[in-house]
Amino acid sequence: DAKTTQPPSMDCAEGRAANLPCNHSTISGNEYVYWYRQIHSQGPQYIIHGLKNNETNEMASLIITEDRKSSTLILPHATLRDTAVYYCIVGYIFGTGTRLKVLA
Amino acid sequence: DGGITQSPKYLFRKEGQNVTLSCEQNLNHDAMYWYRQDPGQGLRLIYYSQIVNDFQKGDIAEGYSVSREKKESFPLTVTSAQKNPTAFYLCATTRFGYGFYEKLFFGSGTQLSVL
């Protein structure tokens, strides 16, 4: 079974920040949280990962709670091209992800 | 990813037939993985290989077989024992294979359908 739970869908207005939550309450101390996104019928694309500290790269920011039981992926200025399914994973088990729709 | 090639892009299987999906990588990665994705669902792990000549079952290995004779190649055979093979199949790699702590690199996938 997946070690993570995510809301099935979210909408976000274009240009606004998209905040995607993920719960991973059973995460072990040395396990990373990884985020990927998948556009229909393509292989998932890596976004960002983290262990304890918050992380930022050119695509997104990752906020991990102090107890590491949850995290939030932030897309700071969502565009229509960010419409995709977003997966938060621990280990190599994928859940059903969050379907993000960016609205014009 | 440009370093992982899956072929063919589309594949059709007749009843009772075995088919083999190809996955080749030039990233010099140690570990390779096969996932299955059904419509509207997440990815489920079929098999993985952390090193040449060794592989392990994932969550849904029944009806599938693999081999890892070369570091670059990890073919997946869908046997006639797999009664519902229609799905999107994804191959992935990681640089190293132990600990499940690394970034996955994915191929572009193969869509398998039953005639």
Point out the least confidently predicted range of A76-80, A93-97, B63-67.
A93-97
**Strand pairing of A18-23 and B54-57?**
unpaired
Which residues in chain A are closer than 8 Å to B103, comparing Cβ atoms? Answer: 34, 46, 49
Across the interface, whether the CB atoms of B88 and A97 are under 8 A apart is answered no
- Burial of residue A81 (CB within 10 Å: 0-12, 13-18, 19+) is exposed
- B41-50: long-range contacts (C-beta < 8 A, 24 or more apart)? B41/A96, B42/A2, B42/A87, B42/A94, B42/A95, B42/A96, B42/A97, B43/A44, B43/A87, B43/A94, B43/B90, B44/A94, B45/A92, B45/A93, B46/B76, B47/B76, B48/A92, B48/B97, B49/B74, B49/B97, B50/B97, B50/B98
Contact A43 B109 (CB under 8 A): yes
Count chain A–chain B contacts defined by CB atoms under 8 A. 50
- Look at A27-41, A77-91, B32-46, B90-104 and tell me which has the smallest mean pLDDT: B90-104
A44 to chain B: nearest residue by CA? B106
Band of pLDDT at residue A28, cut at 50, 70 and 90: confident
Residues A92, B48: C-beta atoms closer than 8 Å: yes
| Among chain B residues, CA nearest to A98 | B42
Mean pLDDT computed over B27-52 = 94
A97–chain B Cβ distance below 8 A for any pair? yes
**pLDDT tens, residue by residue, B87-111:** 999 999 999 876 667 899 999 999 9
Taking the C-alpha atoms of residue A27 and residue A69, their distance in angstroms, rounded to an integer, is 7
Q: Do B108 and A43 touch (CB under 8 A)?
A: yes
Q: How far is B80 from chain A (nearest CA, A)?
A: 25
Alpha-carbon distance A55 to A7, whole Å? 22
Q: Is the pLDDT score of B63 beyond 90?
A: yes
Question: Are B42 and A92 in contact (CB < 8 Å)?
Answer: no
Measuring CA to CA, which residue among A102, A90, A83, A103 is closest to residue A22? A90
pLDDT-derived band at B2 (thresholds 50, 70, 90) equals low
Query: Distance between CA atoms of B92 and B5, rounded to whole angstroms?
Result: 10
Cα separation, B69 vs A84, whole angstroms = 36
Residue B60 and residue B85: Cα distance in Å, rounded?
A: 12
SS3 at position A80? helix
Report whether B64 contacts B41 (CB < 8 A). Answer: no
**pLDDT > 90 in chain A, percent:** 83
What CA–CA distance (Å, rounded) separates A101 from A103?
Answer: 6
Q: Is A94 within 8 Å of chain B by CB? A: yes
B38 C-beta neighbours (distance < 10 Å), count? 12
Q: Which of A2, A41, A49 sits opposite B88 (nearest CB)?
A: A41
Which residues on A lie below 8 Å from B43 (Cβ)?
A: 44, 87, 94
Cα gap B29→B104, rounded to integer Å: 10
Q: How far apart are the first and last CA of chain A?
A: 36
The per-residue pLDDT for B99 is 63
Residue contact A96–B103, C-beta within 8 A: no
DSSP 8-state symbol, A32: P
The pLDDT assigned to A2 comes to 72
